[in-house]
Amino acid sequence: MQQDGNYITEEKRQALLAELKDLKGPKRKEILESLEYAKSLGDLSENAEYHQVREEQGKLEERIVKIARILESSETVKGSGGDVIEIGSKVVVQKIDAKGLSADKAEEKKYVIVGSEEADMVNGKISNKSPFGKALFGKKKDDKVSFKTPNGLVDYKILDVS
């Protein structure tokens, strides 16, 4: 598995397929009905409702194209469960100081390495293309990693990989 590839999990693929089906079906129909109603109101050059619906239609079509592009260009992966960190790996890390010792009261943090489309730091999902994801990729349990942040270099020890 290449570090810089475009990846999505099976769950994300299914969610995107469901969203695409909804956008192409009910949402597109709803916008077309709104467009017909707005056209019936008269003069299109001064019809704010018509222009609003056209803008919504443009956003919908953009999202459809974006989802289709993601689905075409991304490789679907399953959770790896191996010893080496790659897409789908669950990782437990702890911040360490420059000497390799755990920082005072440094708590263990759990992350999942995902493709860039699924990245969500709040929920512990780190992109394989982020600085932290790049530092972790290919490493194993007990390895130490460093990466640059706006506040300087940060060091972590990998406590577990699954």
Is residue 99 helix, strand or coil?
coil
DSSP secondary structure letter of residue 78: -
Q: What is the DSSP string of 20-60?
A: HHHIIIIIHHHHHHHHHHHHHTS-GGG-HHHHHHHHHHHHH
Query: Can you give the pLDDT at residue 10?
Result: 87
Residue 48 backbone phi and psi in degrees, to 5: -65, -40
- Residue 161: is it exposed, middle or buried by C-beta count within 10 angstroms (0-12/13-18/19+)? buried
Q: Which domains does the chain have, with CATH numbers?
A: 7-77 (1.10.287.180), 90-161 (3.10.50.30)
Show the tokens assigned to 58: 């443009």
Q: pLDDT tens for residues 10-30?
A: 888 999 999 999 999 999 999
Query: Can you give the pLDDT at residue 62?
Result: 98
Query: Can you give the pLDDT at residue 52?
Result: 93
- Which secondary structure element, helix H or strand E, spans residue 4, and what is its range? none
Q: pLDDT tens for residues 133-143?
A: 999 999 999 99
- Residue ranges of the chain with per-residue pLDDT less than 70: 1-4, 79-81, 98-105
pTM (predicted TM-score): 0.74
- E-strand stretches of 12-114: 75-77, 90-96, 108-114
Q: Is 76 left (phi over 0), alpha (psi -120 to 50) or beta?
A: beta
